[in-house]
A and B are shown apart, each in its own frame.
Chain A
């Protein structure tokens, strides 16, 4: 059974640029959630995808967008990067039905300069 994999592991971008982060969900998991963790903070929910549709969103502006593909993998896109977007971006996969179980990927550390 493979876990959640994220790519890239580290990334440096310039303010104003756009970035795409990728996540492959754990085998059998059909839901993907994205979280942003700034330094010294707990992870904050960005949004969740189920069956290729966004079905929940946290308090993040529209320049944070995402996709889920038929194989349940997902992308997080951030446009017009700001310095405050520097953070660890975590992807978690889960099953909608059944027992609670979120599996986190090791994250992408984004630095905006």
Chain B
């Protein structure tokens, strides 16, 4: 079983739609959780951190369920510019010296 599993998609949604991505992780010792965004042939960029209390950044809402080892990302009012691959990422520590463990990513295409 992979450490971080995501539905690879693609998710093809119209502009303005709401779309949700899910991710599960296998290491119960994981401490920090993130969503990264990766545009085609570019490097991953941090979209947002994920907390148990849930957190929101504009149209993006992330949620963590430690008991189920499940992470989600909700995008409301999708824009064409949201088209990208979304990578679910976990790590075993809250400091910067433990490796990031990436899922394969979920591809989103927002269509006009």
Contacts and interface: CB of A to CB of B under 8 A. Distances in A.
Dominant secondary structure of chain B at its interface with chain A: loop
Interface string B93-110: 011111111111100000
Sorting the interface of chain B by its residue count into under 10, 10 to 19, 20 to 34 or 35 or more gives 20 to 34
Interface string A92-108: 10111110111011110
A21 to B, nearest CB: 14
B66 to A, nearest CB: 17
A90 B94 contact: no
Contacts of B46: 101-102
Contacts of B104: 40-42
Instruction: Find the residue from B91, B97, B99 having the highest chain A CB count within 10 A.
Output: B99
A82 B94 CA distance: 35
Interface stretch (A11-19, A44-52, A65-73): A44-52
Interface of B: 4, 8, 32, 41-46, 49, 87, 91, 94-105
